[in-house]
Amino acid sequence: MNNKVTLKNVADYVGVSTATVSYVLNGKQQSISDETKEAILNAVKELGYYPNMNAKELASNRSQLIGVVVPQTEGDNKSVFANSFYGEILGSIEREARQKGYQVVISCADLDDNYIRIAYERNLSGIIAIGVYQDEILSKLSETKIPVVLIDSYCKTQDFNNVRIDDEQGSYLATSYLIRKGHSRIGFLCGHIQKNGVMQKRFQGYRKALEEAGINLNPQWIFERKVSFEDGRLAAAHVAKALPEMTGLVCTADIMAIGLMKGLHAYRITVPEDLSLIGFDDLEIANYLEPGLTTVHQAIAEKGAKAFGSLLNEINGNRKQEDIVLPVSIIERESVKELTG
């Protein structure tokens, strides 16, 4: 079909009012059955209906634009999409937004005064910010009154809703898994540890598991790098020096673990024969490696979907204070060797 399909065409096709179609497409909280919602969304696809963005903006004084701020973890000259974690979470946000008539504007710049100015100029309907940001910037962002939802943040403000996992528990599970497999000399490869950040929480989980098992933490086996494939590869030189005394390693991001495996190959060090390795994220590629990467699973796409849902509620005036914490679990593959004796 062409783009001349109207809201009324969709309503007639389903057999409902135009108001009902509008409520569903705008995510407004009305007493509409799931069956009707599904029928409307299917009709939108089948008929090829495209909302009149300009009309919606004039009527609501909104741009129908959602800003998504992504931390630049791959270095200044590399795309953030080099880490498929962000590709998956951004794809989920975009898909949810598109179904509700919104467009997504992605920025890999810092969340700073300049971004806040741009958010004003673009008349953003809302912002999803991924990662850790300074309290000062979050305070300024709060003053704008633009709806904001955070992903993977541990800031202590009630101004924003947040979607995250229990990062400390995830790292605790990873370390405990290695301990159960007979390892007691366990290192930790991570991104830069920042106050109230994801990596700090994951380090706390690692340390807690060691303490509970009566294992001393060796500070020489804490390797801090950027979260990227290349930094994981470069970390191999330092990890190799810790072998064979160190037998296991918790890596706080699959993308780093994959880079590390590549780097260790140059030193003729193999996983898990020479080093047992466990990752974090459960990226799709982790299942295709040889050996497959044992890792901590988190529902990456669900993070994005939950964040947009929370943001849409706030945009529509239905905000409720929430800190959404999604579960984590261990996915067992072949990168950890059980020690005996």
Domain interval for residue 289: 167-298
pLDDT per position as a tens digit, 292-318:
999 999 999 999 999 999 999 998 888
- Residue 179 within a domain: yes
d(CA 79, CA 135) in angstroms, rounded, equals 27
Do 153 and 212 share a domain, yes or no? no
Do 217 and 290 share a domain, yes or no? yes
Q: What is the average pLDDT score of the chain?
A: 87
Phi, psi of 103 (to 5 degrees): -115, 150
How many domains is the chain built from?
A: 3
- Residue 75 within a domain: yes
- Residue 341 within a domain: no
pLDDT at residue 135 in the model:
73
User: Mean of the pLDDT values across residues 200-208?
Assistant: 97
Amino acid identity, position 15: G
- Residue 333 within a domain: no
Do 248 and 261 share a domain, yes or no? yes
User: Mean of the pLDDT values across residues 99-112?
Assistant: 81
Do 171 and 292 share a domain, yes or no? yes
- Residue 270 within a domain: yes
d(CA 213, CA 227) in angstroms, rounded, equals 28
User: Mean of the pLDDT values across residues 167-172?
Assistant: 97
Do 17 and 71 share a domain, yes or no? no
Q: Which of 14-28, 110-124, 163-177, 227-241 has the lowest mean pLDDT?
A: 110-124
Do 216 and 291 share a domain, yes or no? yes
Q: What is the pLDDT confidence band of residue 142, given thresholds at 50, 70 and 90?
A: confident
Do 123 and 138 share a domain, yes or no? yes
- Residue 59 within a domain: no
pLDDT at residue 270 in the model:
96
In contact, 279 and 254? CB cutoff 8 Å:
yes
pLDDT at 186 over 90: yes
- How do strand 294-298 and strand 328-331 relate by DSSP bridges? antiparallel
pLDDT per position as a tens digit, 253-290:
999 999 999 999 999 999 999 999 999 999 999 999 99
Reduced to 3 states (helix: H, G, I; strand: E, B; else coil), residue 290 is: coil
Do 196 and 291 share a domain, yes or no? yes
- Model pTM score: 0.78
- Residue 315 within a domain: yes
Q: Which of 30-34, 93-97, 202-206, 214-218 has the lowest mean pLDDT?
A: 30-34
Q: Which of 70-74, 117-121, 220-224 has the lowest mean pLDDT?
A: 70-74
pLDDT at residue 2 in the model:
44
Q: Please choose, from the candidates 148, 58, 66, the residue with its C-alpha nearest in 3D space to the C-alpha of residue 101.
A: 66
pLDDT at 16 over 50: yes
Do 133 and 194 share a domain, yes or no? no
Q: What is the pLDDT confidence band of residue 27, given thresholds at 50, 70 and 90?
A: low
Do 294 and 304 share a domain, yes or no? no
Residue tagged 């290695």 (tokens)? 178
pLDDT at residue 277 in the model:
98
- Residue 100 within a domain: yes
Q: What is the pLDDT confidence band of residue 124, given thresholds at 50, 70 and 90?
A: confident
pLDDT per position as a tens digit, 56-95:
554 455 678 998 988 765 555 555 666 788 889 999 999 9
Whichever domain contains 225, its CATH number is: 3.40.50.2300
Phi, psi of 274 (to 5 degrees): -100, -25
- Higher per-residue confidence, 64 vs 213: 213
pLDDT at 328 over 70: yes
Do 220 and 313 share a domain, yes or no? no
Do 288 and 183 share a domain, yes or no? yes
